[in-house]
Structure 1
Amino acid sequence: MAHPPGRAGPEPFVWLLFSAGGMVAALVLPVLLVLFGVAIPLRWVPAPDHAHLLAVLGHPLTRLGLLGVCALALVHAAHRLRFTVEHAFQLGRFDPIIAAACYGAALAGTVAAASVLWAFP
């Protein structure tokens, strides 16, 4: 798509979200998975009590941070899935449909994550 001189279009912003999602997926998600999926169940670290977790989750910055982790990871996954489907199956001619489906699913997942996070008291 040709853009007027001095205007790059939305592509740099999409790549920014993709790379930020990759960093989140590589750095934050493994820590959360090891902590809550391995270390606490195996009692390597003491488990926080329910009241403490609710207090931490009750803070708006915690909710916003978790929403950011979810949203960026979903956008990263959508971007990877989009280009994998287009190139692996040679479906580049359906790019607008594939892009809408992938990024629409990421948006729906982000809305679902936001509704779950803000459902807590």
Structure 2
Amino acid sequence: MKAELKRTNEPIFWLLFGAGGMLSALIGAMLVFITSFAVPLGILPAEVFSYANMQGFAQHFIGKVFLFAIIALFLWHAVHRIFHSLHDVGIHTGPLARLLCYGIAFVGTMLAGWALLVMA
């Protein structure tokens, strides 16, 4: 007799969680270093993060892809961690909590994509 496997979308969320975790480990620490220490302490010139430079970066196709990946994957990583942490602290989540957590990530991802697309 063949056992049937239950179909689930959980691997998709674990994929986004893993990608966001890898990206935050590799790039997040450098972003914190640059914005919190390197520029304020004068290690990097302040012009590097001027409004004009950052706007130019965000308007370029590669910059948009980079910013979208950072925002979306960090967001999916965070909500997945929060969702599973609720169980760890004794709050047993149901479909509403799942919808709320992943809905926030979905809406945030769509807003980031929209904001980057309308940026001329």
When normalised by structure 1's length, the TM-score is 0.80
Unaligned runs of 5+ in 1: none
Partner residue in 2 for 1:96? 95
Contact 1:86 1:95 in 2 (8 A): no
Partner residue in 1 for 2:73? 72
Aligned Cα root-mean-square deviation (Å) = 2.2
Q: C-alpha distance in 1, partners of 2:24/2:33?
A: 13
Q: C-alpha distance in 2, partners of 1:29/1:116?
A: 21
Aligned residues: 116
One-letter amino acid of the counterpart of residue 106, structure 1: A
Shift of 1:58: 1.5
Deviations 1:35-74 (A, max 9, x none): 1222112111123244333222211121111111111111
Partner residue in 1 for 2:53? 52
Q: C-alpha distance in 2, partners of 1:118/1:37?
A: 28
Higher mean alpha-carbon deviation, 46-55 vs 28-37, is at: 46-55
SS in 2 for 1:118: helix
Partner residue in 2 for 1:24? 23
When normalised by structure 2's length, the TM-score is 0.81
Shift of 1:4: 4.4
Contact 2:58 2:67 in 1 (8 A): no
CA pair 35-119 structure 1, distance change in 2 beyond 3 A: farther
Deviations 1:82-117 (A, max 9, x none): 1111231241xx421111111111112222323333
Tell me, yes or no, if structure 1 residue 117 matches structure 2 residue 116. Answer: yes
Partner residue in 2 for 1:43? 42
Higher mean alpha-carbon deviation, 51-60 vs 100-109, is at: 51-60
